[in-house]
Chains A and B, each alone.
Chain A
Amino acid sequence: MPLFKVRGESSGALQSAARRAGLALREDELRRIAEELGRDPTLVEVYAFDAQWSEHCSYKSSRRHLRKLPTSGPTVVLGPGQDSGIVHLGEHAGERYGVVVAHESHNHPSQVVPFEGAATGIGGIVRDVLCMGAEVIGVADPLRFGNVDEADSHQRYVATTVVDGIAAYGNAIGVPNLAGDVFFDEGFNENCLVNVVAFGLVKESQIIHSKAPPGSAGWDVVLVGKATDASGFGGASFSSLALDAEDAEANKGAVQVPDPFLKNVIMRASYRVFEYLRERNITAGFKDLGAGGIMGCTAELCAAGGFGAIVDLDDVSTAQAGLPPFVIAIGETQERLAWVLPPEATPDVLRIYNEEFSLPNVARGACAAVIGAVQTEPRYVMRSGNEVVMDVPIDFLTGTIHDELTYEIEAPRTRDDGEAFLSGFDVAETFERVLAHRDVASREPLYREYDAVVRGTTVLPRGCAAAGVIAPIPGSTLGLAVSVAGNPRYGRCSARYAAEAAVVEAVNRIVCVGARPTGLTDCLNFGNPQRTEHFSQFVAAVDGLAEAASVLQVPFVSGNVSLYNESKGGGAVPASPIVGALGTIDDVSRVVTPAFKRDGAALYYIGRARTAIGGSVVAGVLGVEDRLPPLDLEEQARIVTAMLAAIDDGLIAAAHPVTSGGILTAVAAMGFATLRSRPMGAALDDPSPWCGSESATVEAFFAEGHGIVVEATSEDRFLQTMQEQGAPASRIGEVSARAELHLLSADFQAYARFPLDRLHDAWSAPLREVYG
């Protein structure tokens, strides 16, 4: 077996050899490996460490900060650490049900080959959920693209092709797309963000863990799925390198090839295996193959149980002859998973995959096969031909490694001297420009490519409300609500504020459909952590997430870190902490929708009225700067409690969170939601009494103050609940049977009526031009 020469090499020679081999490992890391092994590593070993010690797999610089996130609470069934986290959903027919959630990025691959990159992002995250023994019940996709104004720009190509890739994969496997968002910002021109979230349903007594079970020494390691090929070699390290146009071509080899057709069959076959194992009360280990391929998966699977492993690469089904051992061992061919099974169960499991579900007939070379065994000795060994090509201490390979990187306390880049700017602006014209802004306009042209309703469980499909809702358990009205948030306009000003606001928005979205928030998941997308500026943003964002989640008392159960989102030109993405939230609706017959319900009903804004418009859409539209609206987390927590109490008492007929575009946009969205049935609008009062300013009434309508607009059923009881819970609430107007928004301020009498259909046209058109 060829060795990678480390010992005795000069620093320059070693660095250039590493560079030629395409390694992301640094010189000090290479020397540490040779020292621990007492010899030069083999080629398989050096690529194995390259994958395992990448930031992608090891979280070497991020881990110690991530510990600050709150990860426990009464709703947590399984916190971060395995392939996915699990939150409690509720009980039905005497069974406790959990929701499995995993969150990942597939940013780099999607920038290079958008269709395959995005599709395999969905494919990978779905496997993370599947391997917990769960049925996959939904996906979500927070996306960030560059400026797509130019029809023939690469950004436009990325923005449309990523959506095609997500659609092609998710639709084919039969998993509904429940939530997602998209922002367009020049900061993502060279590095799009494609974050993917998947959700699964599992009985809490039937969770399968991503580790070799106790007493499993000598058990079989079984590889299931697509024949291993040369695609996806170097993926883990690739994702930990800054992108460069020159490298993009060379990096294409590192992107995996999706096969949703095969995945559809593997999912259903795995459900059958779950049933088989349950019937016989067999505990097994199951894990997805992602970064680091066969090596990464089987090493982590066995190390997690305190074991070692021996894998024979000759037993791996390959798509072509003559693949070098390090490609078979480390390559990230898609659609594969690994089991640790007691030998007596193995023949039946192989039969289910290979005969009942006929994997070999579904895709050439696809199968389930024994490729190795769990061993007591804590070493990870790989054989190929008659040679041992890898033999290392398993904990050294998979264990914790640290990079202590420097950071500073982030200084927010915002003005603190804001004042009212907007009194001279024309509200009518401004409103239509805000609705047509790329961050506000209807996302339908994009998400209508996604199947939102397969499985027949959908209650509120994508785009219908601020969160997606499904009733995932047949015969039960238990509902799952899911949302995502993460505003890059805040990321540009302050990573910490962006992180806090992301938690608040994701939770508000959940609350607005009548769900109790139960868990959070995050994906932290930043630039190169070796640059203090970027790592400082990362640390500030983690601090923000931690504080917001602690105050709102919603724990994080899973997450992912994506660093190095920058091109070699030095442009990093805006700080992008992206948060997903989950919630339970005990009975979906009490789900809250955004559509106005009753003529004459009172509209309230829950939250402190704000006039600061920093980071808002209107500030961008009008080209003004201002300070960010204050974000009082304690008050946000009271808003959540007050909303849930009011919903419980049936006091909320409709609700929508105030996000991009502000209060007026939220009210418009509640009107748009009525357009398919009986159109209804609203009459809004002069804001000066409730915004506390005579001169900033326009700001009040457009400020993005993190509150919630609601239609109340009974004003007295509603106000009493708000007061009891300490949540500020202002009456802003009334629902009207006329399909228009009517602003009653004396200031703008002349242009006070906006027909809803005209607003809807302004809102619907912009992304149609991009997404057809």
Chain B
Amino acid sequence: MKARVAIPVFPGTNSEEETLRILRDVGLDAEIVHWSRGDRLFQYDAFVLPGGFAYEDRVRAGAIAAHDRMMDAVVDAAIGGKLVLGLCNGAQMLLEAGLVPGTGAIRRPTAAFTHNGPDGKFVCRHVFVKLSVAPERSPITAALAPGALIPAWAAHGEGRLAAPPEHLQEIVDGGHLAFVYTHANGSTDADAIPNQSALGAAALVNVEGNVLAIMPHPERDAWTFNHPDSPEGRAARGNAERMLRPSGGAALFESFAKGLALV
């Protein structure tokens, strides 16, 4: 039977529709699950936690949602080896829930995505992220090329990875640093990082590799019409059908779909 993917919606979530569209466009059987129907979440085979401001980002982004009843289903799934992908606010939730990097106890986070440097302001900026673990480190990235570059939009106020030094070391040593921010050519420096994130981190993966938390939004640069001046965009000029195809950031979701077929 085809795997079913849930997109849980918390009060304050705002990116569920585009997340649903890209998952369906890469061939997945995905559904939005509203918080009033949270008990149904236990029926799903995989989870994609969408972006937004769940519970108004009170305390810290993702902190309240991490303790929500809906998150119990996600924690169970993660421990059970199901695939879980968190996008932006969803990524923040996964760190707050202790699932990523997953070196501590559940709901005892060892790291957080927190207020952007230098000034704490929300930043909306186009970025590239580079796969910085071996693709097979995670089923979610397994179909990507080594060092794959994925375009995405950073759009967050709390996306800077922060952790005590020993936990940062753990992230490096344990191969948790899944994606780092880079320029379009794959090089990186301070200018490539939109938020002063520690290690230049854009995404982290858990110990087992089945849970990935990514701060920027590949789903907002996931169709050719999102990037008309890119090589794919120029090639699609005058071709409506081609303009509507997934490309760019869609690569991560295509890899997620292939990974889902593996587990």
Contact = CB atoms under 8 A, between A and B. Distances in A.
30 contacts: A164-B121, A171-B155, A172-B14, A174-B15, A260-B53, A264-B11, A264-B53, A356-B36, A448-B124, A450-B122, A451-B124, A453-B226, A454-B18, A454-B220, A455-B15, A456-B22, A456-B222, A459-B226, A477-B225, A587-B238, A588-B243, A589-B225, A589-B243, A590-B238, A591-B228, A593-B228, A595-B229, A676-B184, A677-B184, A677-B230
Contacts of A172: 12, 14, 53, 56
Interface in B223-239: 223, 225-226, 228-230, 236-239
Interface in B3-21: 11-12, 14-15, 17-18, 21
A477 B226 contact: no
Closest 10 CB pairs of A and B: A174-B14, A456-B18, A589-B243, A261-B56, A453-B220, A477-B240, A453-B153, A172-B53, A356-B36, A451-B155
Q: Determine chain A's interface SS by DSSP, over half rule.
A: loop
A32 to B, nearest CB: 47
A90 B171 CA distance: 51
Contacts of B56: 172, 261
Interface string B134-173: 0000000000000000000101010000000000000000
B240 A589 contact: yes
B121 A772 contact: yes
A460 B228 contact: yes
Contacts of A358: 11, 35-36
B217 interface: yes
Nearest to A674: B229
Contact of B15 (A164, A449, A454): A454
Nearest to A587: B240
Nearest to B18: A456
A593 B184 CA distance: 19
Contacts of A651: none
Contact of B36 (A357, A477, A650, A677): A357
A265 B12 contact: yes
A475 interface: yes
Contact of A677 (B51, B55, B229): B229
A631 to B, nearest CB: 32
A355 interface: yes
Given A264-B14, A456-B18, 11 more contacts: A172-B53, A173-B14, A261-B12, A261-B55, A264-B11, A356-B36, A452-B124, A456-B226, A477-B244, A588-B228, A595-B229
B123 interface: yes
Contacts of B107: none
B202 to A, nearest CB: 16
Interface of B: 11-12, 14-15, 17-18, 21-22, 34-36, 51-53, 55-56, 118-119, 121-126, 153, 155, 157, 184, 217, 219-223, 225-226, 228-230, 236-240, 242-244
Interface string A41-68: 0000000000000000000000000000
B123 A589 contact: no
B70 to A, nearest CB: 13
A676 B34 CA distance: 39
Contact of A589 (B34, B124, B126, B238): B238
Nearest to A449: B122
Contacts of B119: 772
B53 A650 contact: no
A355 B36 CA distance: 8
Interface in A587-641: 587-591, 593, 595
A592 to B, nearest CB: 9
A135 B142 CA distance: 37
B223 A456 contact: yes
Nearest to A160: B121
Nearest to B120: A772
